[in-house]
Structure 1
Amino acid sequence: MELKLALGECLGSFDMEKAVCNHGLFMMSPNVWIPSTKSLRRPLRLADSCHSVSVTISHPPDHPFLVIQVQDSLSSADEAAILEQVGRMLRISSRDERCVREFQTMHSSAKEKGFGRIFRSPSFFEDAVKSLLLCNCGALCELQPEIALVNGNANLKRKRSKQKPSSSKSSECIQNFPSWKELVAWTRINATHLEKRCNLGYRAASILQLATMFAQGKLVEDDITNIEQSSDPTAFETLYQNLLEIKGFGPFVCSNIMMCVGFYRRIPSDTETVRHLRQVYGKENCSIYTIAKDTVEIYGKYNPFQCLAYWMELVEEYESKSGKLSELDAASYHLVTGSLFRDKGVKRIADDAQRISY
């Protein structure tokens, strides 16, 4: 079946290719970008939050809506859930459109390039985990159907209503990104299995701590959704500080998460940021110890969109070396993500330095 998501006030600024291919998240499982059709394919959760269905999202030329192809028939509640997730990923909302326009007004180059929407995941939890891991997301997605079975929620393709399965494909497992509920239930049975099965190391404990915070009500999905649509910097700052309490979630990780949430004042700085400021701005004395001051000096004029200005420069730099992100073969993604997201050891050093700087 086919769903349509009206772009409304976002129509004038929206570009499907640019809205997706601007952040390493679009290269991570279970996302699949299809360059030939400029469309995005991935599983999304249904209204029960337990089952998933594969969708393909595209924007036909000159159409005031997105087209979402769904493999199965859906209830009205399921349709609403799918549309909400697509809207979140591609930032189709009044608040996001307002941010795009305000940023492009103060940054003329951004308007010329159509930059202003940072791609994100269907859920905050997925954004947060991916900001921490930056790899091994495929392993989590492969494990997800098995994790879902813990709650008796086998994540199987639902059979089309009133149709008998024509082949074994009708019961093929859909590998979505695990939800916090699934991970909490899974670890009640085997707390160490996640670390070993997905080769997550100590980050498994960090992920489970995040999931547990949701389970205990310390983080609430509806509250985060309200924050995302808010213009209150205090609410964003409170969320940032709460995330910092999770072991392994340092300033670099949390700033990436806040960028996904829609709070653009904190730049996720690491040694790659140091390199960028040295090469592009001639900040030869820039270091992980001075980066906080240096970024304020350079990007402060774009407040409250400092992170958008910085990220646009990074994307432009990487595309000048590797070609358009939207046209890369998936086999080449590691060449880009290795720069967009530095290796874990370097990032950890940067986190420690930022704790001193802030």
Structure 2
Amino acid sequence: MGELIELQVALGECSSSFNMEKAVCNHGLFMMSPNVWIPSTKSLRRPLRLADSSGSVYVTISHPAPNHPFLVIQVNGLQNSISSADKAVIMEQVARMLRISSKDERDVREFQTLHGSAKDRGFGRIFRSPSFFEDAVKSILLCNCGWKRTLTMARALCALQLQLASAHLQHKRVASNSNVKISTKRLKHKKYTKASSTSELSMSGFDQSIGNFPTSTELACLDEKYLNERCNLGYRARCILQLARKVENGELELNKLEESSDTTSYERFYQKLMKIKGFGPFVCSNIMMCIGFYERIPFDSETIRHLKMVHGKGKCSRKTIEKDIEEIYGKYAPFQCMAYWLELLDEYENKFGKLSELESSSYHLATGSLHLTE
């Protein structure tokens, strides 16, 4: 089974406001592969990257008790020890997903001051992925299709990543044994098979049909036709590859943007995103929300439906929606998106029950109206 180690992430100033269940189960992103929420233990399981980005380990993240000062991360099925750099990167990814930082805590407190019921509900952390790139790709997957297909596409990308990782290991072994340099570009024509030993990927004991979510490096060299056929992405294959290649060539410096708190930098980045073919206002606004910029609401037909039913905006349309949004949510600036999403969450849980208690086999049925489209 391999070795199991435990890491701790200090919650610090976030300790008093943090609730594991509420920090995870508030957005459809938590239902998308490779995330696995376990209702019985209120824990989150998924693979995370190691420091070199090429390897992954499976982890289980939990919070022992309310107000407990640490999150516990169990790193499972290790065949080899991991370095201090690997441990640091794992903890950084967990902190990003669950928004454990001074800025996030400040946002929680400021929003809850503006929105009293948010404090009562313990709402203020919208779940996101361990990497900016994963958030961006999943925002693309949310567009112009049913929720069931969105879930299927995310799972297909993770299955592809497992096969890419297996192929990469095999190529490394061949190269080391024969001193032959093998180009990763050959991977785009490779017919992959499942990894013969998932313990090689430090994922033994878990669902072996999926891997981690692919990185920009893993996707950038793939062929568009192959990616589309392999994962049934449709037009999204081109959008995702464009994004991956812009990240790889340095045109989009995602980490630098996320570290900045300069509003003008966010606006410039939003305009850069809008120039990518296939990136409309919904995708870009959803990405901005994942960064931590909440002024732009990702609006679509679901938003129109919500404003009509909940706020009595019977004449709301794509022509009027921006004005309607400003009228309703402007008072919550700069947290308009948080206020909107809290309302949606209330609506969905009134209909389906607590999202944290849903069985994963029912996600595609119970969350149809939770899906957002361009």
Q: Same fold (TM over 0.5)?
A: yes
Partner of 2:275: 245
2:89 to 64, 81, 84: 81
Q: Give the gaps of 5 or more residues in structure 2.
A: 143-149, 174-194
Deviation at 1:15, TM superposition (A): 0.3
Indicate the SS of the match to 2:295: coil
**Equivalenced residues, count:** 330
Report if the CA contact (8 A) 1:143-1:175 is conserved.
yes
CA offsets 1:188-215 (integer angstroms, 9 cap, x no match): xx33100011110111000000001011
Query: CA separation in 2, counterparts of 1:221 and 1:270?
Result: 25
User: Using a 3 Å threshold, how does the CA distance of structure 1 residues 153 and 90 change in structure 2: closer, same or farther?
Assistant: farther
Residue 139 of structure 1 aligns with an amino acid whose one-letter code is: A
User: Using a 3 Å threshold, how does the CA distance of structure 1 residues 272 and 159 change in structure 2: closer, same or farther?
Assistant: closer
Query: CA separation in 2, counterparts of 1:217 and 1:159?
Result: 28
CA offsets 1:285-344 (integer angstroms, 9 cap, x no match): 1111110000000000000000000000000000000000000111221234321224xx
Deviation at 1:90, TM superposition (A): 0.2
Equivalent positions of 1:271-290 (< 5 A) are: 271-290=301-320
Query: CA separation in 2, counterparts of 1:33 and 1:288?
Result: 35
Query: CA separation in 2, counterparts of 1:112 and 1:80?
Result: 33
Q: What percentage of aligned pairs have identical amino acids?
A: 65
Residue 330 of structure 2 aligns with an amino acid whose one-letter code is: G
Deviation at 1:64, TM superposition (A): 0.5
CA offsets 1:56-88 (integer angstroms, 9 cap, x no match): 000001420000000123210110010000000
Report if the CA contact (8 A) 1:266-1:306 is conserved.
yes
Deviation at 1:225, TM superposition (A): 3.0
Residue 86 of structure 2 aligns with an amino acid whose one-letter code is: D
Report if the CA contact (8 A) 2:257-2:266 is conserved.
no
Partner of 2:252: 219
Partner of 1:29: 33
User: Which shows bigger deviation, 82-91 or 277-286?
Assistant: 277-286
Residue 224 of structure 2 aligns with an amino acid whose one-letter code is: A
Query: CA separation in 1, counterparts of 2:140 and 2:320?
Result: 23
Query: CA separation in 1, counterparts of 2:122 and 2:243?
Result: 34
CA offsets 1:225-252 (integer angstroms, 9 cap, x no match): 313xx2x211111111111111111001
1:64 matches 2:69: yes
Partner of 2:158: 141
Query: CA separation in 2, counterparts of 1:25 and 1:131?
Result: 9
1:208 matches 2:241: yes
Residue 21 of structure 1 aligns with an amino acid whose one-letter code is: C
Deviation at 1:153, TM superposition (A): 6.5
User: Using a 3 Å threshold, how does the CA distance of structure 1 residues 334 and 169 change in structure 2: closer, same or farther?
Assistant: closer
Report if the CA contact (8 A) 1:53-1:157 is conserved.
no
Q: Give the gaps of 5 or more residues in structure 1.
A: 161-167, 349-358
Report if the CA contact (8 A) 2:56-2:201 is conserved.
no
Query: CA separation in 2, counterparts of 1:101 and 1:261?
Result: 18
Indicate the SS of the match to 1:122: coil
Query: CA separation in 1, counterparts of 2:9 and 2:327?
Result: 40
User: Using a 3 Å threshold, how does the CA distance of structure 1 residues 153 and 233 change in structure 2: closer, same or farther?
Assistant: farther
Deviation at 1:146, TM superposition (A): 2.2
Indicate the SS of the match to 2:315: coil
CA offsets 1:117-153 (integer angstroms, 9 cap, x no match): 0000000110011011131100000010222335847
Residue 109 of structure 1 aligns with an amino acid whose one-letter code is: S
Report if the CA contact (8 A) 2:352-2:366 is conserved.
yes
1:304 matches 2:337: no
User: Using a 3 Å threshold, how does the CA distance of structure 1 residues 284 and 75 change in structure 2: closer, same or farther?
Assistant: same
Report if the CA contact (8 A) 2:227-2:233 is conserved.
yes
State the Cα RMSD in Å. Answer: 1.9
> Greater RCO between the two (CA within 8 Å, min separation 6)?
2
Report if the CA contact (8 A) 1:139-1:198 is conserved.
yes
Deviation at 1:281, TM superposition (A): 0.9
Partner of 1:176: 212
Partner of 2:21: 17
Deviation at 1:174, TM superposition (A): 6.2
User: Using a 3 Å threshold, how does the CA distance of structure 1 residues 48 and 173 change in structure 2: closer, same or farther?
Assistant: farther
1:329 matches 2:359: yes
Partner of 1:113: 121
Partner of 1:44: 48
Query: CA separation in 1, counterparts of 2:102 and 2:306?
Result: 33
Partner of 2:232: 199
TM-score by length of 1: 0.88
User: Using a 3 Å threshold, how does the CA distance of structure 1 residues 331 and 200 change in structure 2: closer, same or farther?
Assistant: same
Residue 243 of structure 2 aligns with an amino acid whose one-letter code is: L
